[in-house]
Amino acid sequence: MEALEILLKHRTIRKYKSETVPDNLMEKLLKAGIRASTTGNMQVYSIIHTSDPQIKQKLAPAHFNQPMVLQAPHILTFCADFNRFKRWCCQRNAEPGYDNFLSFMTAAIDALLVAQNVAVAAESEGLGICYLGTTLYNADAIIEILKLPRGVVPITTLTLGWPAEQPEQVERLPLDAVVHDQVYRDYTPESIDRYYSEKEHLEANQKFVQENKKTSLAQVFTDIRYKKADNEYFTEKLLAVLKNQGYINTSL
Amino acid sequence: MEALEILLKHRTIRKYKSETVPDNLMEKLLKAGIRASTTGNMQVYSIIHTSDPQIKQKLAPAHFNQPMVLQAPHILTFCADFNRFKRWCCQRNAEPGYDNFLSFMTAAIDALLVAQNVAVAAESEGLGICYLGTTLYNADAIIEILKLPRGVVPITTLTLGWPAEQPEQVERLPLDAVVHDQVYRDYTPESIDRYYSEKEHLEANQKFVQENKKTSLAQVFTDIRYKKADNEYFTEKLLAVLKNQGYINTSL
């Protein structure tokens, strides 16, 4: 199918058939993945492909037991990875200088561009995917389960398989809410009202507010889904991971 | 063209024709972009579309005067952006808790998935793109030029236009160098030699080593292209940006 059509049709798939993806198809998806742009062609990422039910069982709690982790036949964990590159440098009489936060971001960007390529490739072959944002929350546990050495940090995860559902496409803000012409023009109370109006008036979102006994949709986000205390707790955990994995040094 | 074929054909384009992209085509690309997955459908990103030659002139030094910035008719700066979402929360009697590093990463991931969707969409329409990794190096300057308020951090940039060159596709490591089965299996001196052999033996890379008077390709990276001192300098600048833009608080 045309690439643009694939992108426009994207839906997150959370229910999968049990059939696995044939090895040659998986290879095709991953090969398309690694054609993504990468800083200086360093390819400072790794992809862990997990299908073993026992390892998936261990990963599930790290992803807050979201059912996709056990149900999807394939789990792809995309990691920032300077470990391989550093080993190469050391073997070639070159002194790597990548134990810093900029290098972490460089590697994280690499990993994410590959992940999105794999997502698009998968959808173009009729497969479904779901991103797991929990990857950064419990990076410490994932590091242990997937045996990630120093220099390797999991950034995001895709669950992958043949769709067993056909969900409606979810809404997005109007395009001009997120695109700025020439420079950023900051929002006004009026433009915020206008841009969020459609989202707030959707029946599903209004139901969401009622069910959670809140007075606004925004409160569902701040009080339930993405709470300050949780964000701060997982921030501390993530910063500890970056220190342990060698991307933040003591000067912070 | 088929999506998979588009992904496999990717080449970075650094020379562009002067013709601009029609508004309706640009809109199509951006609409495909914002269908990318986003954490909790919060869409915590913004895209700044810059085509004004005067603003591009200001942006050029922030991107180390890479010629694509002036030559490409369109510059798209993809930003992590909790500013809009926070304003919405505040207007809806909801208390945002997103002034932390986890939220920065959430927003950066959002921005990068959109960027890669736009890149794929552009290539599917015959356009060419180049990612500018310099975005994070000089985020402070870009923030000033593009008038990014607190809560907004530029993460990556695409130059975009009709290709005026047809470069060869660059090499990648063998797929099994970057994909791990079930869990990470760390590299050995032998596997590093094997995986990097093809890259090291490419004529273009060997020439690169000679021209730079180095004894290995790895040294070109560590001593010239991505030096420790530069990475540390730009790390400090980037961390200052994250503090200024409200994503790292004093507890660090």
Residues B204-237: pLDDT tens digits?
Answer: 999 999 999 999 999 999 999 999 999 999 999 9
Torsion B34-B36-B41-B46 (CA) sign: negative
pLDDT, mean of residues B150-157: 98
Separation CA B129–CA B159 (nearest Å): 5
pLDDT, mean of residues B127-156: 98
Confidence of residue A249 (pLDDT cuts 50, 70, 90): confident
Residues B19-37: pLDDT tens digits?
Answer: 999 999 999 999 999 999 9
**Given CB atoms, is A25 within the 8 Å cutoff of chain B?**
no
Burial degree of B165 (CB within 10 A; 0-12, 13-18, 19+): exposed
| Percent with pLDDT over 70 in chain B | 99
Q: Regarding beta strands A45-50 and B179-181, do their DSSP bridges make them parallel or antiparallel, or are they unpaired?
A: parallel
Every domain of chain B and the residues it spans = 13-167
pTM of the predicted structure, to 2 decimals: 0.98
Per the CB < 8 A criterion, the answer to whether A21 and A127 are in contact is yes
Mean pLDDT of chain B: 97
Residues A140-168: pLDDT tens digits?
Answer: 999 999 999 999 999 999 999 999 999 99
The alpha carbon of residue B56 is apart from the nearest alpha carbon of chain A, in Å, by 9
* pLDDT at position B62: 98
* pLDDT at position B250: 55
Q: Which one of A85, A192, A221 has the shortest CB-CB distance to B94?
A: A221
Residues B71-129: pLDDT tens digits?
Answer: 999 999 999 999 999 999 999 999 999 999 999 999 999 999 999 999 999 999 999 99
The secondary element (H helix, E strand) that includes residue B23 is: helix B23-33
- Give me the CATH code for the A3-167 domain, please: 3.40.109.10
Q: Which one of B12, B96, B231 has the shortest CB-CB distance to A222?
A: B96
Query: Nearest to residue B79, comparing CAs of B173, B20, B26, B146?
Result: B146
The alpha carbon of residue B29 is apart from the nearest alpha carbon of chain A, in Å, by 8
Give the tokens for residue B223. 């001593």
For residue A238, is pLDDT > 70?
yes
Across the interface, whether the CB atoms of B226 and A155 are under 8 A apart is answered: no
Across the interface, whether the CB atoms of B48 and A180 are under 8 A apart is answered: yes
Separation CA A54–CA A201 (nearest Å): 43
Q: What is the ipTM of this complex?
A: 0.98
For residue B1, is pLDDT > 90?
no
Q: Which one of B32, B97, B175 has the shortest CB-CB distance to A8?
A: B32
Edge to edge, the sheet with strand B152-161 lists: A179-181, B45-50, B74-81, B152-161, B128-132
- Please name every residue paired with B160 in a beta bridge, in sequence order, or none if there are none: B74, B129
**Given CB atoms, is A207 within the 8 Å cutoff of chain B?**
no
DSSP one-letter string for A35-76: TS--GGG---EEEEEE--HHHHHHHHHHTTT-THHHHSSEEE
Pick the CATH number of B13-167 from 3.40.50.360, 3.40.50.20, 3.40.50.300, 3.40.109.10: 3.40.109.10
Residues B33-49: pLDDT tens digits?
Answer: 999 999 999 999 999 99
Interface of A with B in 88-107 (CB under 8 A): 88-89, 91-98, 100-103, 105-106
Torsion of CA A226, A228, A234, A237, to 10 degrees: 170
Residues B63-75: pLDDT tens digits?
Answer: 999 999 999 999 9
Nearest CA in chain A to B102: A235
